[in-house]
Amino acid sequence: MEAFFILVCTYAASIFERRVLQRTEKTEWIIFGLCSFFVQPFLSQAIFWFSQLFFTFLFCLFEQDRHTYYISWHWSIVCVCIAIGFIGTFQSLPWQGALLYSVPALFLHRRKPEWIGTADVYFLGFFGCILGMHRMMVAVLISVLFGLLWSVIKQKKMIAYVSCLCVGVWIAYVKGYYLWDILFSLLSTF
């Protein structure tokens, strides 16, 4: 049943690619489907369905930002639904993570709006609220490394940071506490 649901989510991602982004390439959503099958053993069966929907959201957001460098206000409706799903699944949201990551980003956006966009601030807060402080730190570190790698490979000065953040959030959602323990043990040796 889980394999069927992964295929349904992969099909939904392909519809998003065709209808919203007007793209006909199949490689992105095929890779998404394969990654979903790869990550399935790491997820708890109790939250598998919700996690797969969250991964589909992350993939579509990644593709939207990567191709257009623009995130519309419609994504906030989906974010509210996801937040309600997280509250129903985990009984609470760690709002401290939202404050820790969105408030400094908001000050940076007010000071230098060409460095960080409004969507970057919004999604740093949203993902901080979803993941909490520890896993969000892992997500931000991964997203910064991924963004640096992306800018070197693509030879661009401007990167789609929400896309990089989606990669970091995806990894931190699956193995965030494990990576946090490794990071904390490395930092505690100094």
For residue range 25-71, what is the model confidence (pLDDT) as tens digits? 667 767 777 777 777 777 776 777 777 888 888 888 888 888 888 88
What does the pLDDT read at residue 18? 67
What does the pLDDT read at residue 132? 84
3-state secondary structure at position 157? coil
CB 159 within 8 A of CB 150: yes
Question: Domain-by-domain residue ranges, the chain?
Answer: 2-188
What does the pLDDT read at residue 184? 82
Average pLDDT along the chain, 190 residues, taken 10 residues at a time: 69 71 68 73 72 83 84 83 75 74 86 86 88 88 91 85 91 84 79
Instruction: Give the residue among 65, 60, 18, 10 at the shortest CA–CA distance from 39.
Output: 10
How deeply is 3 buried, as exposed, middle or buried, from its count of CB atoms within 10 A (0-12, 13-18, 19+)? exposed
CA atoms lying within 13 Å on the CB side of residue 61? 28
What does the pLDDT read at residue 165? 92
**CA–CA distance, 117 with 59 (Å, rounded to integer):** 20
CB 116 within 8 A of CB 70: no
**CA–CA distance, 126 with 185 (Å, rounded to integer):** 27
What does the pLDDT read at residue 88? 67
Q: Cα-flanking dihedrals φ and ψ of residue 144, to 5°?
A: -65, -45
Return the amino acid letter for 158: M
